[in-house]
Amino acid sequence: MPIEFANQGEIQDFPYANIIIDISHEKVDRPFQYKIPEKLRGQIDVGSCVKIPFGKGNVQRVGYVVELMNEPQCDPVKIKEIISLNDEELSPDALMVKLAARIHRRYGSTMINCLRTVIPVRKKVTALKHRYVSLLTDERQARDFYAGCVKRHQVARARLLEKLLEDPLERIPYEIITGKLNVTPAVIKALSDKGIVKVEIEDYYRNPVGDISAAKKEITLSPEQQNIADTIISEYDNEIRDTYLIHGITGSGKTEVYMELIDKMIKRGKQAIVLIPEIALTYQTLMRFYRHFGERVSVMNSTLSAGEKYDQALRAKNGDIDIIIGPRSALFTPFPNLGLIIIDEEHETSYKSETMPKYHAREVAIELAGIVPGGASVVLGSATPSLEAYYRAKNGTYKLFELNRRLTGGTLPEVEIADLRQELREGNRSIFSRSLQEKLQETLDAGHQAMLFINRRGLAGFVSCRSCGYVFKCPHCDVSMSEHRGGMLMCHYCGHTQPVSKICPECGSKYVTAFRAGTQQIENEVRKLYPKARVLRMDADTTRLKGSYEKILSSFAAEEADILVGTQMIVKGHDFPNVTLVGILAADMSLNAGDYRAAERTFQLLTQAAGRAGRGDKKGYVVIQSYQPDNYSVVTASQQDYKAFYEEEIEYRNLMKYPPVSHMLSVQIWAKNEDEGKEKANYIRAAIDRLFIDGAMIIGPAAASISRINDIYRMVIYVKHEDFDCLVRIRDEVSNLLDQLSKEGRLSGNIQVQFDFDPMQGF
């Protein structure tokens, strides 16, 4: 069941509205209150665009409603009245405010936070200007004036006119005239005042792409790729605006379908947003699009300067670019004629915001597509779709397409699962299985490249047996428990605790421990085993500086290194034709993350990692190292069999009523004082119980997965229900309760509460 953004009932009849005038980050928290006239009551809602009198002269301005109120904030006599609604034309600014209002209604947080989320630039930056000087009068008059300047010894004027008369139709940059011709601005102004020359000023945009010279690269689609593109465009032309899921195996050519769709949209005068999960993918994706579309494509991400962000927003708003590429925040690029939103690798957790408002880009993209003028189509793509997307595709909410062949005509890599339990029994205590060591040597000898991926997700202290693979799980929630100080295991869904056992209850082994390994340790081991190999490492430490992602990826793509060691950032969407071996270390680490999505994430990571091998014309090989080689996530990932994984996983979700079968609300409580936090958490739980919502499953309160950070205690309550609106109702009731407690002085500033719908990360 997708999240519906429909309005909750009719617009209420409020007498006052808080309105912002300027759409910029520094102005959204400075609203002005206006009176809503009787004739407009019930028509104006949060997000409405209105005309208002502003300032001492009551100049008519356009404003946006950010809050409706029952009470005046000052003397009612002094409050001005709204003139009219201004909904005839939905500008990009008005559209963003409308979207912010929808996000506010669904995900909570404050309207100001929501506005700051959708406004892509933190603060307004002075736009750069290019100035040009050209002749204003005709050539004959200009030559007569030039002769007079020479006669009167007006040397600077004569020099400028002489240059302009060399080509009377040419425009000369202002900086060249003042610099190389040594003509002062005063001389230029004097000639302009006399009507001899004119000075034209044009905006000049900062370009984060830089100077890239690349010939347009034509693409040829396979019949199944062409069918997908033709179907989506045909439906668009027939005014069908839908959400489509392209499920394509790794290397099947989803990007080529995206480019074909964008090509056709641009020919229809439309613009496109392409979302990618991480900045690490920006460079390679941008290069592919830039080679095809040239300067009509740009980027929007957090590495840009404030000036670069401001200019990209202006370029989009003015129609100077057709395509924007970037992570989640690029969704809010203010295009006036948006026709297509593409979300590549839609399964990635980075599409969910972990700060307020905690929105999911997939849901907000579908909402945005529904409110832009004319509507837009949404295309989701992944080799390993999220269960939410595939579930909706299976039940007909989305339209499903499949790509089952690699674009190069090659086959999927051969995959071997190395049983680390057996390696341990046979005396191998190395990070690498014997098979992976042999394959690495063969790869280096052949002059090919290898990628070693360490699955760090889930490194939260789960405990398992290294002999048989047994993992200590919660008996109530079927998720792994985490080790805490004092030798206790805890479930972070229900709070169940039990002592850590030093003996495996399954096989009696004493090899019960938590796994600890990192990229630096792996890099050191590689250098020790293969001293002649050129090794690159890509993780949070090596990619701190701006441009470091691109530098590492470009170096590896140029075959300046033999082995790339890294975390999950190296396995997402990259295409290196000379990579023939991928080694996946600690494959089942994320399987035991104490999270109901653990199996799904493991399958996705392993499949994506395996998909990096053999993408060129060389045969690929993958070694998956695991302590649980028989787990269905590991087995189906090794076979790249998404459907088999989905069928098994959806049964588990059904049984436990986890998303996407039901929706889930996480009520997150922060407290400076542990006892006060527990008291308020229990108070909130009691309030939810009193609502008597049929079908609601309530878990907790329990300690969060990290129960204390910087001396702030963290607790959580989970509520599951099939109807998303029921969870919204619970959220609203709890919010109202907290507001009331605050007014009564019973809720100190030491307590904070946040809400997260269908959380992607454990809390």
Structure tokens at 677: 């936090």
Cis omega before residue 629 (within 30°)? no
On the question of pLDDT at 52 being above 60, the answer is yes
Separation between Cα atoms, residue 65 and residue 23, nearest integer Å: 12
Which amino acid does the sequence have at 338? L
- Find, among 81, 17, 5, 77, the residue nearest to 47 by Cα: 17
Q: Would you call the peptide bond into 173 cis, given omega within 30 degrees of 0 as the criterion? A: no
Which has more confidence, 715 or 593?
A: 715
As a whole number, mean pLDDT of residues 172-190 equals: 83
Residue 744's CATH number: 3.30.70.600
Q: Report how far residue 606's alpha carbon sits from residue 381's, in angstroms, rounded to the nearest whole number.
A: 17
Tokens of 650: 């959806």
Render pLDDT for 210-228 as a digit per residue (tens, 0 to 9).
545 444 566 788 899 999 9
Q: Please indicate, yes or no, if residue 148 is contained in any of the structural domains.
A: yes
66 touches 14 (CB < 8 A): no
Report CA torsion sign: 315, 319, 324, 329: positive
Which of 359, 297, 300 has its CA nearest to residue 326? 300
Please report, as a single letter, which amino acid is at residue 267: K
Local confidence band at 704 (pLDDT 50, 70, 90 cut-offs)? confident
**223 burial via Cβ count (<10 Å: 0-12, 13-18, 19+):** exposed
| Nearest C-alpha neighbor of 334 from the set 90, 65, 700, 538 | 90
Mean per-residue pLDDT, 500-516: 81
pLDDT for 523 beyond 90:
no
Confidence (pLDDT) at 600: 93
166 and 232 assigned to the same domain: no
User: What pLDDT is recorded for position 384?
Assistant: 92
* Residue 184 burial (CB count, 10 A): 11
- 676/680 Cα distance (integer angstroms): 6
Cα–Cα–Cα angle for 74, 75, 78, nearest 5°?
A: 105
- In this structure, of 233-237, 244-248, 347-351, 571-575, the range with the lowest mean pLDDT score is 571-575
Chain Cα centroid distance, residue 49: 28
Q: Is the pLDDT of residue 282 over 80?
A: no
166 shares its domain with 103: no
293 Cβ contact partners less than 8 Å away, ≥ 6 residues apart: 259, 262, 266, 322, 323
Tell me the sheet residues that pair with 128.
204
Question: Rounded to the nearest 5°, which phi and psi values hold at 200?
Answer: -105, 135
CA distance 224 to 253: 10
Q: How far apart are the first and last CA of the chain?
A: 23
As a whole-number percent, the residues of the chain with pLDDT over 70 amount to 87
The candidate with the shortest Cα–Cα distance to 400, out of 379, 376, 386, is 379
Q: Same structural domain for residues 620 and 595? A: yes
- 682 and 643 fall within a common domain: no
482 in a structural domain: no
647 and 697 belong to one structural domain: no
Q: Same domain, yes or no, for 368 and 443?
A: no
- Residue whose C-alpha is closest to residue 527's, from 667, 431, 454: 431
Distance CA 369, CA 374 (A): 9
Same domain, 682 and 539: no
CATH of the domain at 97: 3.40.1440.60
Residue (of 21, 82, 88, 91) closest to 53 by Cα position:
82
Query: What's the number of domains the chain is made of?
Result: 5
The whole-angstrom separation of Cα 6 and Cα 1 is 14
Distance of CA 678 to the CA centre of its chain: 34
* 3-state SS record for 643-692: HHHHHHHHHHHHHHCCCCCCEEEEEEEEECCHHHHHHHHHHHHHHHHHCC
Q: Please tell me whether residues 40 and 74 are part of one structural domain.
A: yes
Q: Whole-number mean pLDDT of the chain?
A: 84
CA distance 606 to 596: 17
3-class state of residue 248 by DSSP: strand
Distance of CA 470 to the CA centre of its chain: 35
Residues 390 and 426 in one domain: no
pLDDT of residue 292: 82
In a domain, 108, yes or no: yes
| Owner of token pair 């057709």 | 322
508, part of any domain: no
Quick check: helix, strand or coil at residue 191? helix
Angstrom distance (rounded) from CA 283 to CA 281: 6
Tokens (6 digits) for 661: 């079968």
What are the C-alpha distances in Å from 656 to residues 240, 651, 661, 702? 36, 9, 9, 18
Residues 359 and 305 in one domain: yes
State yes or no: pLDDT of 3 exceeds 60: no
Residue 7's pLDDT is what? 44
Q: What tens digit of pLDDT does each residue of 401-413 get?
A: 999 887 765 667 8
Q: Is residue 440 part of a domain?
A: yes
365: pLDDT strictly greater than 60: yes
Six token digits for residue 375: 């509507």
pLDDT of res. 207: 58
Q: What is the CATH number of the domain that holds 362?
A: 3.40.50.300
Whether residue 716 is predicted with pLDDT greater than 70 in this model: the reply is: yes
Q: What is the pLDDT of residues 428-446, one digit of tens each?
A: 888 899 999 999 999 999 9
Asked if residue 231 and residue 251 are part of one domain, the reply reads yes
- Would you say residue 562 lies in a domain? yes
Cα 619 to chain center, whole Å?
A: 33
Same domain (yes/no): 189, 252: no
pLDDT above 90 for 231: yes
Tell whether the model's pLDDT for residue 552 goes beyond 80: yes
Residue span of the structural domain in which 342 resides: 223-403
DSSP 147-161: HHHHHTT-HHHHHHH
Q: Print the SS3 string covering 569-580.
A: HHCCCCCCCCEE
Helical ranges in 66-154 per DSSP H: 92-107, 111-118, 139-151
Q: Please tell me the distance from the alpha carbon of residue 454 to that of residue 178, in angstroms, as a whole number.
A: 58
Q: What share of the chain is helix, strand, coil (3-state, %, to 5)?
A: 35, 25, 40
Domain stops at, among 145, 174, 204? 204
Considering the domain boundaries, does residue 5 fall inside one?
no
User: Environment class of residue 15 by beta-carbon count within 10 Å: exposed (0-12), middle (13-18) or buried (19+)?
Assistant: middle
Residues linked to residue 473 through DSSP beta bridges, in sequence order: 480
Report residue 160 as tokens: 């400028």
Instruction: Report which of residues 202 and 662 the model is more confident about.
Output: 662
Does residue 510 sit within a domain? no
Q: What distances in angstroms separate CA 299 from CA 257, 278, 312, 684, one per listed residue? A: 20, 12, 8, 43
Dist CA 233 CA 261 (whole Å): 7
Torsion of CA 235, 364, 23, 88, to 10 degrees: 40
Written as six digits, the tokens of 229 are 């593109």
